[in-house]
Chains A and B, each alone.
Chain A
């Protein structure tokens, strides 16, 4: 027993020694590296290993926790990061429900937080709590607008919708239905399926029977391939649109020839090579792609990891200003960090150019999305 106490004391002592390096900047991260959102969380987690370990001469420690795509775990993670690891800023989480739940803790402990989830509700409106919250992915609304504009230009009059029977599909349905109606596109069918479904024949037959000019599939990752494959099998000849949730190479692998000609909006990082030379995002997007592929293999990059990279870019840009406000590890530094993040201008990430303001904690504009078509099994930017 005595032996145990000694070991415990030694362990505690070690913990204090490592915690005593106060000048280090501690960044707490909660990602969904397992569970349903794992295909988004894993590239984000990988990207974190590429982020700078020193910013403005200060050592940066990243403490990465997995929240298993679970809201309760995400809240537990941020509590632990703030109270035990004394982090100066939190990155996370991967998905909207987790990020929304983490806002309360971030605001209560006055810790700036950068979310990697898509919903605009995370940062809008910027109220007393959301003062502390920023995010890097484009709003669904921006992406839905891009799709509707493309449809209008292509002369689409009627459209069918099939989406996930969860927050992703519902969110898209709300945004897309409102924008499509405003642009006089008629929605003739509205169907749902689950990401784990093994068959969507029923839904596809109903879509097919409605004979729309185009069909929008609102799914994320490889599960979005199933409706498209079934549509092609039934001989649907109209235009098919996907959302930016499918923008990884696994989707191309699973969908194969059935996805030829599909349109989708995406962050410019997806087609970094094809961006015009004067595009301000081109250089940073290419830098991310080359670093990621060097570390994790050719063709492994996905747009989701780009959101983590952009969170790192925001940090790197904000830290020098924040250091003037106080020492890392203090409430003053955290407050200065928040102010610095809010004041960021023209920060180039892999997905766009960030211009934060007291009313806009996303800061992305039209430069943050491009329309992409799948051609010859690869992503092709639509000029």
Chain B
């Protein structure tokens, strides 16, 4: 192995690591606020990438139908509650966001040929379709059991994951897709070539991480989420709605997932079931951070990406084995250094 190969592998590892870092952040966030181990995180990557691919191909993405169906379910759940309490304005908001919004998107995608739009508009449209799925899924699947033990929430996650993969096969078919690159440019830095797309991936990831830091540090909603993560009961006593915190968290998780999908789709072929493995690698990184520390999780993600790149060079048949075996020493080290308090169940 010479210097040039090492640089190329390093670049590859950092690009993938940036995606894993985003997913790891989302996983840590969701777990901290809602105690949900969010296995379907990877599905949002696939949904984001494939929805964009279908919009590019000028076809109606199936995720719009899912959005509509989930919206109807939420409308029924929240609408009856609003009616019972007699809140007219509340009912209007529920119907507006969960019924009219998906219908408007469906009408837009159905009637307007979107294939000729600029890439940025297509990406925005993709996010508009996929991101609201996050809070809707939280409302339908998690909110009714929000106070349940972690194990039950985990089982719900498995169910949501299986359902989303199955729907993905239905929406997008068994074959994979790629989307056109954000940038075809490539730069020569010293001995190596850097592709524009990997700069996009790393740059967007960094920007998103900074934006999240600002959101949590400077805004009221961000502080509310942090408060919920630190002490759920205390936050509730201070008037922070756990349901609102949950929905907001899932919206952020869906946004991060879909954006990761959009970023990675031009450099890798994405399938309806690709998301799971990408999500798992983000999970390894989140575990390195103990499902609590954002900076360590992000560093862990870069480590996972680099480990993956270099092991694919030296021992390609054992790549996944090497990456996932990383969990064992991390868990040993974690259990030796931290004093875990059993959760009351």
Contacts and interface: CB of A to CB of B under 8 A. Distances in A.
Interface stretch (A56-64, A102-110, A200-208, A285-293): A200-208
A223 interface: yes
B325 interface: no
Contacts of A39: 173-175
A307 to B, nearest CB: 16
B313 A203 contact: yes
B143 interface: no
Interface stretch (B95-103, B213-221, B304-312): B304-312
Interface stretch (A180-188, A191-199, A335-343, A359-367): A191-199
Interface string B68-88: 000000000000000000000
A221 B174 CA distance: 10
A248 B309 CA distance: 30
A205 B267 contact: no
A42 B312 CA distance: 32
A42 B170 CA distance: 11
A151 B316 CA distance: 25
Interface string B296-319: 000000000000111111101101
A254 B177 contact: yes
A205 B9 contact: yes
B12 A202 contact: yes
B264 A205 contact: no
Given A34-B166, A34-B169, A205-B313, A198 B175 contact: no
Contact of A223 (B173, B176, B319): B176
A250 B312 contact: no
B278 to A, nearest CB: 7
Contacts of A20: none
A193 B316 CA distance: 6
B316 A196 contact: no
B231 interface: no
A205 B176 contact: no
A226 B312 contact: no
Nearest to B4: A205
Interface string A218-241: 000111011000000000000000
B312 A222 contact: no
Interface in A136-151: none
Given A205-B9, A226-B269, A198 B320 contact: no
A21 interface: no
Contact of A199 (B177, B178, B268, B320): B268
Contact of A205 (B5, B15, B273, B308): B5
A323 interface: no
Given A193-B316, A201-B309, A254 B8 contact: no
A34 B174 CA distance: 8
Given A42-B174, A199-B16, A200-B312, A192 B317 contact: yes
B175 to A, nearest CB: 4
Sort chain A's interface into a size bin: 20 to 34
A226 B271 CA distance: 12
B175 A222 contact: yes
A206 B178 contact: no
B309 A199 contact: yes
Interface in B137-175: 166, 169, 173-175
A38 interface: yes
Nearest to B268: A198
Interface string B316-342: 110110000000000000000000000
B211 interface: no
Given A202-B311, A205-B9, A206-B313, A254 B273 contact: no
B274 interface: yes
Contacts of A221: 174-176
Contacts of B314: 202
Contact of B274 (A196, A199, A254): A196
B277 A196 contact: yes
A167 interface: no
A221 B176 CA distance: 9
A165 interface: yes
B201 to A, nearest CB: 11
A254 B178 contact: yes
Contacts of B12: 199, 201-202
A34 B163 CA distance: 13
Interface in A36-51: 36, 38-39, 41-42
Contacts of A200: 312
A34 B169 CA distance: 8
A209 interface: yes
Contacts of B169: 34, 38
**Chain A to chain B: the 10 pairs with minimum beta-carbon distance, closest first:** A202-B312, A202-B313, A38-B174, A198-B268, A250-B175, A39-B174, A192-B317, A201-B12, A222-B176, A191-B316
Interface of A: 34, 36, 38-39, 41-42, 165, 191-194, 196-203, 205-206, 209, 221-223, 225-226, 248, 250, 254
15 contacts: A39-B173, A42-B173, A165-B316, A192-B317, A194-B319, A198-B268, A199-B308, A199-B312, A205-B5, A205-B313, A206-B313, A206-B316, A209-B5, A223-B271, A225-B269
Given A34-B169, A194-B277, A202-B319, 12 more contacts: A191-B317, A193-B316, A194-B320, A198-B16, A199-B268, A199-B308, A200-B312, A222-B176, A226-B269, A254-B175, A254-B177, A254-B269
